Amino acid sequence: SYVANPAKSADLIAEIGSHIYIKEPTTATIDHKEVTLPAGMTFKEAFELSTNGGWRNRVRMALLKEAGKI
């Protein structure tokens, strides 16, 4: 679920965007399409993968957690 936090996504990407987000190959549904996400995908790569709001929120929540903000 969405967590309000004043941290900007761009700032989080600059800070920890190179950290690994996807550790093992996995699939996700983005814009009603199933997409395979490769192992080793970084937070920056994941964030830039799609501008879909649901996807961006999912990555943002993981960014906030990785940065220790939630």
39-69: pLDDT as tens digits:
999 999 999 999 999 999 999 999 999 999 9
Residue 57 host element (H or E): helix 53-66
Residue 1, burial from CB neighbour count under 10 angstroms (0-12, 13-18, 19+): exposed
Task: Read off the pLDDT of residues 16-37 as tens digits, 9 standing for 90 and up.
Answer: 999 999 999 999 999 999 999 9
The type of residue at 3 is V
- Global pTM reads 0.90
Residue 1's pLDDT band, with cuts at 50, 70 and 90, is: low
- 3-class SS at 34? strand
pLDDT attached to residue 2: 62
